[in-house]
Amino acid sequence: METQIILLIFVLVLSIFLGVELITKVPSTLHTPLMSGANAISGITLVGAILSSGSSEIVTIILGTAAVFFASINVVGGYLVTNRMLGMFKKK
Amino acid sequence: MDTAILVNLFYIASSILFIVGLKMLGSPDTARRGNLLSSSGMLLAVLITLLDQNIIDYRYIAGALIAGSIVGYFAATKVKMTSMPEMVAIFNGFGGIASLLVGSAEYVSGTFDNPAFLGAIFLTVLIGGLTFSGSIIAYGKLSEVISGKPYLYKGQQFVNGILLLAILLVGINMLFIQGFISSEETLILLIVLAFILGILFVIPIGGADMPVVIALLNSFSGLAACAAGFVILNNVLIVAGALVGASGLILTNIMCKAMNRSLANVLFSGFGAAPDAAAESTQEQGEVKPISAEDAYLILEAASSVLIVPGYGMAVAQAQHAVRELGELLEDNGAEVKYAIHPVAGRMPGHMNVLLAEANVSYDVLVEPDDVNPVMETVDVCIVIGANDVVNPDAKDNEGSPIYGMPIIEVDNAKTVFVSKRSMASGFAGIQNPLFFKSNTRMLFGDAKETVSTLVSEFKG
């Protein structure tokens, strides 16, 4: 358990540095799509929600199912709206 | 092969798709494909999770997935581009509440002997909860269901202090004591406190500072997912959550820099709460010189370089299409037309860029303040449409001004400035703008859309 936590913290730290490197150079034109695209990624909590709602305990199922609902709005809505916005960015 | 290993291999694949997708979002040419890659990473992660052997019943999952997808689909396809800031805000909130629910679900079914597990749950519920309620308030402010004005009251810091202390005590009870109040009561209390924290966090912040708040809430929604990753010990949640957390923090930082203010100043001081300083700048105003659209047309017709500076007022008046038409007519007339966009113009990062993109303005004529300020003297006419604070010369000249030091678009250096404005009321920050009184400034009073449309019809006339 402890080694696993340490390993995950390791992953966390590296991911944060990676995220900083990835985003620093984004031009301001793309700030909104970047934000909504990133927001859709944060819907990854859907994975956790699916695992919770597959449980055998009723309270966990209820909470997990509600989480699946909200997270999937976040994921589907976030990606679609980003795609819609990016479709408008054109160069003539 | 063991299913758990297989699942994790696929999680690595989705993490790669997220990372590459996010990288591709950094350039207009690749952004759309990047978003597609990132969404396929998500699809992969979800599908592979459904293979998990611990899932007993798929009915609820399927129902909630379908229902959520339908809501998300309609929200995303029906929303108007001018409503994009509140859309992003509410999606942030949904991400937050989902993480909160995951944390709670694990708490009610978990064991209570591992402080690391409980600590992760504590953080998930806290961050998820404040992201949710904060986003709802931001949504209310942006859609003007509640006032966009900063709401400040006496003893604010004291109340916040008490709240943080209470959260800390609940946390200690949750992690170490367990029994001072029952586990259910602890959870409910934590959720309530997190909600209150989110509300108190966003309520004092004014409309003009919303770009910072939205970027920060975006970051929080990622961090909440990240914390949820520690609860269920899942790599992909941690990687994806951390990426979003980092990107949100960078955007927040960019927004703060564009206002020359620290994050603490934005969050805790409530803009426009310095009326004394604001009053100072009203000295030596001189006279405002209005101009009719007909006369403005004559000047524009002779101009060989025109700079358009849009602001929140353009979004409110829905004038982006009329503005694009005017820009095209000016180009046909032989003028060079550019659009100068301040990073904090509007209500979210990149707000103006999205609106102009919607109106079919090519993104390569959109420029940033640093690009245009050095050559401002060569600009014949600057048309300011619904922008105010981001073109306020007090930011350079008046040390007593609350916005002193903020980088602005120095339109007052252009040969002629037209300011399209509803009335002489001051901007969101409640600060007077000496630009309106400069000798080279002419005011185009009235609704931005009508004014620009009149100019367009003059050109066509």
A65 domain-assigned:
yes
Contact between A57 and A15 (Cβ < 8 Å): no
pLDDT one-digit tens code per residue, B49-64: 988 777 777 888 999 9
Cα(B391)–Cα(B310) distance, integer angstroms: 10
Tell me which residue has tokens 């509600």: A66
A66 domain-assigned:
yes
Cα(B422)–Cα(B418) distance, integer angstroms: 13
Establish how many alpha carbons lie within 13 A of residue B21's alpha carbon, considering only the half-sphere containing its beta carbon. 30
Cα(B12)–Cα(B348) distance, integer angstroms: 32
A56 domain-assigned:
yes
pLDDT one-digit tens code per residue, B155-189: 777 888 899 999 999 898 888 877 777 888 889 99
pLDDT one-digit tens code per residue, B428-458: 556 778 888 888 888 988 888 999 999 999 8
Identify the domain containing residue A40 by its residue range.
31-92
At B336 the three-state DSSP class reads strand
Name, in order, each residue with C-beta under 8 angstroms of B302's C-beta and a sequence gap of 6 or more.
Answer: B380
Closest CB to A25: pick one of B26, B55, B350: B26
A71 domain-assigned:
yes
A22 domain-assigned:
no
A75 vs B42: CB contact, 8 Å cut-off?
yes
Which pLDDT does position B347 carry in this prediction? Answer: 84
A56 vs B56: CB contact, 8 Å cut-off?
yes
A69 vs B67: CB contact, 8 Å cut-off?
yes
The Cα of A62 is separated from the nearest Cα of chain B by a number of Å equal to 8
Model confidence at A44, pLDDT cuts 50, 70, 90, reads: very high
- Total of domains in chain A: 1
Encoded tokens for B406 = 């903020």
A41 domain-assigned:
yes
pLDDT tens, chain B, 461 aa long: 677 888 889 999 999 999 999 999 988 889 999 999 999 999 999 999 988 777 777 888 999 999 999 999 999 999 888 888 899 999 999 999 999 999 999 998 877 778 888 999 999 999 999 999 999 999 999 888 887 777 777 777 788 889 999 999 989 888 887 777 788 888 999 999 999 999 998 988 877 788 889 999 999 999 999 999 999 999 999 999 999 999 999 999 888 888 888 888 877 765 444 444 444 444 456 778 888 888 888 888 888 999 999 998 898 888 999 999 999 999 998 889 999 999 888 888 888 998 999 899 998 899 988 889 999 999 999 999 988 888 988 888 888 887 888 889 999 999 999 998 887 765 555 677 888 888 888 898 888 899 999 999 988 87
Which pLDDT does position B115 carry in this prediction? Answer: 85
DSSP state of B420: E
The interface residues of chain A toward chain B in range 4-63, judged by CB-CB distance below 8 A, are: 4-5, 8, 11-12, 15-20, 22-57, 59-61, 63
- The domain B278-460 is placed in CATH, from the list 3.40.50.1220, 1.10.645.10, 3.40.1390.10, 3.40.50.1820, at 3.40.50.1220
Sheet containing B416-421, strands listed edge to edge, beginning at the edge strand earlier in sequence: B366-367, B336-340, B305-310, B381-385, B416-421, B441-445
As annotated, the active-site residues of B are: 389
Encoded tokens for B415 = 């040969």
A5 domain-assigned:
no
B32 vs A86: CB contact, 8 Å cut-off?
yes
Closest CB to A75: pick one of B72, B231, B354: B72
Query: A70 touching B, CB under 8 A?
Result: yes
ipTM of the complex: 0.95
A4 domain-assigned:
no
Residues of chain B with CATH 3.40.50.1220: 278-460
Cα(B200)–Cα(B107) distance, integer angstroms: 26
Which pLDDT does position B425 carry in this prediction? Answer: 65
Chain B residues inside the 8 Å CB shell of A6: none
Which pLDDT does position B129 carry in this prediction? Answer: 97
Cα(B82)–Cα(B142) distance, integer angstroms: 11
